[in-house]
């Protein structure tokens, strides 16, 4: 039997190591991508010097996870935080309306609503003040009677509200325009700010999380919109532009495209309008 010497053993180990390394290298794959963007009524243009990211998870799913951890408050909870009367809070919870300045609010508000919700009553009174509305009832109660003659004040006040309700029922057109008086207390403005702040948080956090937890590689396209990534382990990935937009003419696109890397092969992928996300329609990253 041939005796294995130390130099021979060392050579065999080196050969085995080299063979294993070579086999591991051949098992890896590559991605070759070409990115084009086509504006309306124009020719395709290369997406030049633009960074694409190879992720192990869809960027859309990453964004959804971040948004799920920074959710908007429930609608009723939000209404409870408003600095408005309890009557208006009850009305808002009973109606699928937050924008009190929207056209057509007069169709959603009844005479009873105007009489019972102080904000609506004040808005109606202001929109019909100054003699612009003929025949509108005028209040006969006096603020002084509220303390000195509370019973008289209550009766005169109720008589006025009843007369005003009948007037509104007979003249529904007088409700139109009261929405212009509700701008200062409009809940939609605050709701929009909360939504905008939530979207900003997602836009800031999602790219960082995607690159920290799911990034495999990134590459910049050349002047022809071409890029190649070598030495990628086999598996399923996503080619993503994160929350960055590629622009050309009137087109603004983002990509989040699945791609499979095959051992020892180059996967070619075309990025275009057909597999992109229209950034104009994106409300979240």
Q: pLDDT tens-digit profile of 124-172?
A: 999 998 877 888 998 887 777 777 778 888 898 899 999 999 999 999 9
Closest CA to 59 of 221, 216, 235, 230: 216
**Total-model pTM:** 0.64
| Residue-level pLDDT at 3 | 54
Eight-class DSSP state of 175: G
pLDDT digits (tens, 9 = 90+) for 161-202: 999 999 999 999 999 999 999 999 999 999 999 999 988 988
Pairing between β-strand 266-271 and β-strand 51-55 as defined by DSSP bridges: unpaired
Instruction: Report pLDDT for 285.
Output: 44
Q: What pLDDT score was predicted for residue 152?
A: 86
Domains and CATH numbers, the chain: 6-56+214-281 (2.60.40.10), 100-184 (no CATH)
Q: Over 90: is that where the pLDDT of 23 sits?
A: no
Q: Which segments within 183-284 are labelled E, that is strand?
A: 215-220, 226-232, 235-240, 246-248, 251-261, 266-271, 276-278
Asked if 37 contacts 272 with a C-beta cutoff of 8 angstroms, the reply is: yes
Q: What is the pLDDT of residues 44-90, one digit of tens each?
A: 999 999 999 999 999 999 999 998 888 888 999 999 999 999 999 99
Q: Which two tokens stand for residue 35?
A: 């990115």
């Amino acid at each position: 039997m041939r005796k294995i010497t130390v130099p021979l053993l060392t050579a065999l180990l080196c050969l085995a190591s080299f063979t294993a390394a070579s086999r591991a290298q051949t098992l890896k794959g590559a991605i070759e991508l070409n990115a084009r963007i086509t504006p309306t009524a124009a020719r395709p243009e290369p997406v030049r010097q633009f960074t694409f990211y190879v992720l192990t998870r869809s960027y859309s799913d990453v964004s959804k996870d971040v948004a799920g951890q920074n959710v908007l408050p429930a609608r009723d909870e939000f209404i409870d935080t408003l600095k408005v009367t309890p009557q208006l809070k009850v009305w808002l919870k009973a109606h699928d309306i937050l924008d009190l300045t929207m056209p057509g609010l007069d169709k959603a508000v009844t005479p009873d609503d105007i009489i019972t919700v102080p904000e609506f009553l004040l808005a109606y009174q202001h929109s019909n003040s100054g003699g612009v509305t003929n025949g509108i009832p005028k209040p006969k109660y006096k603020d002084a009677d509220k303390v000195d003659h509370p019973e008289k004040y209550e009766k005169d006040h109720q008589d006025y509200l009843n007369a005003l309700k009948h007037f509104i029922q007979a003249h529904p057109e007088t409700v139109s325009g009261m929405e212009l008086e509700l701008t200062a207390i409009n809940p939609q403005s605050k709701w929009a700010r909360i939504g905008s702040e939530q979207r900003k948080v997602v836009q800031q956090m999602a790219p960082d999380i995607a690159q920290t937890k799911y990034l495999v590689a990134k590459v910049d396209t050349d002047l022809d919109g071409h890029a190649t990534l070598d030495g990628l382990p086999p598996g399923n990935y996503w080619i993503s532009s994160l929350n960055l937009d590629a622009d050309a003419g009137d087109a603004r696109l983002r990509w989040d495209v699945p791609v499979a890397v095959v051992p020892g092969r180059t996967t070619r992928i075309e990025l275009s309008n057909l597999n992109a996300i229209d950034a104009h329609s994106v409300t979240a990253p």
